[in-house]
Structure 1
Amino acid sequence: MAMAALRREGRRLILSSTVPNPSLAAASSAVTRSSAVSQPEMAPLGARSISTQIVRNRMKSVRNIQKITKAMKMVAASKLRAVQTRTENSRGLWQPFTALLGDAPSVDVKKNVIVAITSDKGLCGGINSTSVKVSRALHKLTSGPEKETKYVILGEKGKVQLLRDSKDSIEMTATELQKNPINYTQVAVLADDILKNVEYDALRVIFNKFQSVISFKPTMVTILSPE
């Protein structure tokens, strides 16, 4: 009897050791899942050194861009000083003639010609658009049933903008005037060409008068016909 009881107890212990515990199995599976989820989130070996190298390359490229920009600023400043000097010196030519011949902006005539002076290139703020806006406003003021108003456009930007809505009113255009530094000879030839090919009673020149690097004043000068 005692031997039979011992054998039964031994079989029970063996069976209990082979059957898995549910709580232990759940805990082990949870640990396995958490390790599987967190494993992709771990940074790979050497990732820190790679990102540092990218930042260094970026800083180097930014420093190179700063050097190039500084050189461009110096070149632009030198060109601006040269152009500003020529502009200020040219005022001694046209201002005495305007004072001598007289400037009558409110004169009422039948044939008006608006000379819009713009540039051939953009990226210069509102210089070209301001000149075009003033020219359009002046065209409306000087137009009428018994009046005729035409455009003479100097510069590619003014030509492009006024061709959109005033194609029939354009009498003459001239572009690529700024390829070479403007001098008295070039201006004299251009003025002679306008006077020979355009009939007018009043010639109204629209331009931007230089005041500072960031400030230009829209200005109109009226030239009456000698007849």
Structure 2
Amino acid sequence: KQPFSPAEVKRLMLDLCSALDYCHERWVFHRDLKPSNLLMNNLGEVKVCDFGLARYYHEPLKAYSPTVVTLWYRAPEVLLSDAGRGEHTRYGPAIDMWSLGCIFAEFVLQAPLLCGQGEIDQVKRTFELLGTPDEESWPGAMSMHFMRKYPQRRVPFNRLRDKFKKASFTGAQSTLSEAGLDLLTKMLILNPEKRISDEEAIKHVYFREEPPPKPHHLMPTFPSTHTKHTKR
């Protein structure tokens, strides 16, 4: 499969951040963002679809069902409070930004970022890559049901940079710029209170540095499969 260029990734991410901003401004969060819930038309536009799990929210945030978001794109505040108990837990639109961060990484890597084989393994992989939370970085995290039931090995460092090639002296380009890595890191902050919002993400320097987001009319296009455009 043909990887997206840096300018194409930037266009996709800017459009998706704008889509989330549109939803969140109207107090709606999607709760199941993943690549298979994104559609791209033959005009180079990406669209968010499948709002079957979407809900209205308000502040202060209330408790919702933890059985949301496909596992590989599920935010830690949902994973840690669930632990198979099925009890409602408090979360908000920050879970959409986590999912979008996972999608961002997947656009660049051409493979899912966190591929857990169950909730426990998903938490383990998340902490091994992004570090284990403590009371300073995420107050209250250590008292969550999952952390008390399944104590985690302490991983002090964020190793996200290791997933992306750095530019080399041979002329090989980085798969993600430093600004792009900064945005991704902020989207994947474990503490939802510190995670970047869609509005903040849109203003991030990543979208202003070179190369600029590719114009829609220059994006890869695909033949229409709609019945009225298909020859019988």
State the TM-score, normalized to the length of structure 1. 0.22
Q: Larger Rg: 1 or 2? A: 1
Task: Indicate the structure with greater helix content.
Answer: 1
